Amino acid sequence: MNAESNTRRLLIAGGGTGGHLFPALAIAEEFLARSEKNRVLFVNAGRPLDHKILDGRGMPHQTITVSGLKGMGFFHKIKVMGGFPLAVKKAADILRSFRPHVLLSVGGYSAAPAALAAKMMGIPVIIHEQNRLPGLTTRLLSPMAAEVHVSFPGTPLKTAGKKIRLTGNPVRRELVACRKKRRKTGDSLNLLILGGSQGARGLNRAVCKALPMLKGLPIRVVHQTGSADFEEVSQHYHGLGMKAEIIPFIEDMVSCYAGADLVLSRAGATTVAELAAAGLGAIFIPFPHAADNHQYHNAKAMAEAGAAVIFEEDRRTSELLVATLSACAEDPDTTEKMAGAALGLSRPDAAETLTSAIMAHMSGV
C-alpha cells in the first residue's frame, strides 16, 4: 500500500494578524494531534508576523504575493487586482505540490487567491470567521465554501445560507477556565490592562489620564504597555507613586489571566475568545479604526451577555473608566457576575469541533 494513501493534508490560508493566526494554529495543532500521518501547510502573504509566529511553532509555510484592497486608493486597487491572477496561479502551484484534501480559510490577504484556486481544482473550502462582523474575505468566499464556521451567534452572513456552523473561536487549551479563584468582599481588584496590541496607544493614554483619580483605590494593576509606550506609561505610574507591574509584553498570558479579576483591553476576536474561555469580565475600548468597526461588534457580544462594558475612545473615556473601576473595586459581586457571564459564552471545544468538520471532508482518504 502506498504510504501516502492514508495521509491527510490540510492547507490553511490566511494570516497577517494574530487574530487570524492563533485560531489557525489551535486548529493545526489539533489536526496534527489526531494522527502522526496528518500534514499541515500554511499559506500567507509573507508579513513578518506570519514568519515569526509560524517559525516559532515549527509550522511549514509558503508565501503568496498579494495585498489588501480595503481602505486603499484607486490606483493601488488597480495594481492589486492586476496582480490577483498571478497570486491565484502561485496558489495553484502550491496546491498541486502539497495536494491538500481540504483548504481552510482563516481570513487575510492570501486566503482569497488560495481558496479560489482550490475551488477551481475541486478541493473543498472551509471558512473560519473569527469576528462577529465578517471580514471582506469571508463575505467574498462564503458562496463557494462547503462550510462556514463562525465564532458568534447571529453573525450576519446571508451569502453562506445553510452552510453556517456556530463553532466558536479556538483558543489554547490551557486558557480554558484558568481563573480558579473568586474575589470576596475586602479583596483588592486585580486589574489586567492589555495596552500592547496594535493601535492601543489611545487606550494607554486614557489609562494614564485616569490614574490620578484611581490613586488610593484598592486596585492592583498589571499593565502591558507594548514596547512603544513602555517608558511613557511607566513615568505616569512612578510620578504618582503608584505601584503596578508594568511590562512591555506578557509572555505568560495564562498566569496573568488566572490572577486577574477584570481586564481592560481592545476587543480583537482572539482577546474576546480568550477572556470568555478564561472566565473574565472586561472593560472594552474597541480600536476605532478597525475595519468596519469590527472590534465594537466583538465587544457587543460580550456586553449583551453581561460580561463586559464598552467605552468608545474619546475625551470622556478616562472619566468613564474611573467611575466603572471605582464601582468594581467596591463591589466584588460586580466583577464575579461578569466573569460568570463570560465563561457562559466560552466554547472550549471549538478547535476539536472544527477539526472534526475538516476531517469529515477527508473521510474517503
d(CA 270, CA 298): 10
Annotation-wise, does 250 bind a ligand? yes
| Measured distance between the N- and C-terminal CA atoms of the chain, rounded to whole angstroms | 13
182 and 306 assigned to the same domain: yes
Closest CA to 146 of 287, 288, 357, 4: 357
Which pLDDT belongs to residue 147?
Answer: 96
Which pLDDT belongs to residue 68?
Answer: 52
DSSP assignment of 55-93: HHTT--EEE------TT--HHHHHHHHHHHHHHHHHHHH
153 and 179 assigned to the same domain: no
Which pLDDT belongs to residue 244?
Answer: 95
354 and 340 assigned to the same domain: no
Which pLDDT belongs to residue 4?
Answer: 60
Which pLDDT belongs to residue 290?
Answer: 84
Which pLDDT belongs to residue 3?
Answer: 52
d(CA 131, CA 61): 24
185 and 289 assigned to the same domain: yes
146 and 25 assigned to the same domain: yes
d(CA 295, CA 291): 8
Q: Is residue 365 part of a domain?
A: no
d(CA 156, CA 134): 7
- Going by the DSSP 8-state scheme, the letter that residue 46 receives in this structure is -
pLDDT digits (tens, 9 = 90+) for 107-166: 888 899 999 999 999 999 999 999 998 988 899 899 999 999 999 988 888 776 789 999
Q: Is residue 30 part of a domain?
A: yes
C-alpha cell at position 160: 453562506
246 and 136 assigned to the same domain: no
pTM of the model: 0.86
Q: Is residue 258 part of a domain?
A: yes
195 and 165 assigned to the same domain: no
14 and 54 assigned to the same domain: yes
292 and 209 assigned to the same domain: yes
pLDDT along the chain (365 residues), means of 10: 74 87 93 96 88 92 72 51 76 96 92 94 96 88 94 84 91 88 91 81 94 95 93 95 92 93 95 95 93 91 96 92 96 96 94 96 82
224 and 331 assigned to the same domain: yes
Q: Is residue 248 part of a domain?
A: yes
CATH of the domain at 267: 3.40.50.2000
Q: Is residue 211 part of a domain?
A: yes
Please, what is the angle between helix 332-345 and helix 269-278, to 10°?
110
326 and 353 assigned to the same domain: no
Work out how many domains the chain is built from and give that number: 2
Q: Is residue 43 part of a domain?
A: yes
Annotation-wise, does 17 bind a ligand? yes
Which pLDDT belongs to residue 1?
Answer: 43
253, 256, 264, 317 from 221: Cα distances, Å: 15, 11, 10, 18
Which pLDDT belongs to residue 66?
Answer: 66
Which pLDDT belongs to residue 191?
Answer: 98
Annotation-wise, does 197 bind a ligand? yes
Domain interval for residue 78: 9-170+348-360
C-alpha cell at position 304: 449583551
Q: Is residue 2 part of a domain?
A: no
Annotation-wise, does 172 bind a ligand? yes
Q: Is residue 267 part of a domain?
A: yes
106 and 59 assigned to the same domain: yes
Residues in contact with 356: Cβ distance below 8 Å, sequence separation at least 6, in sequence order: none
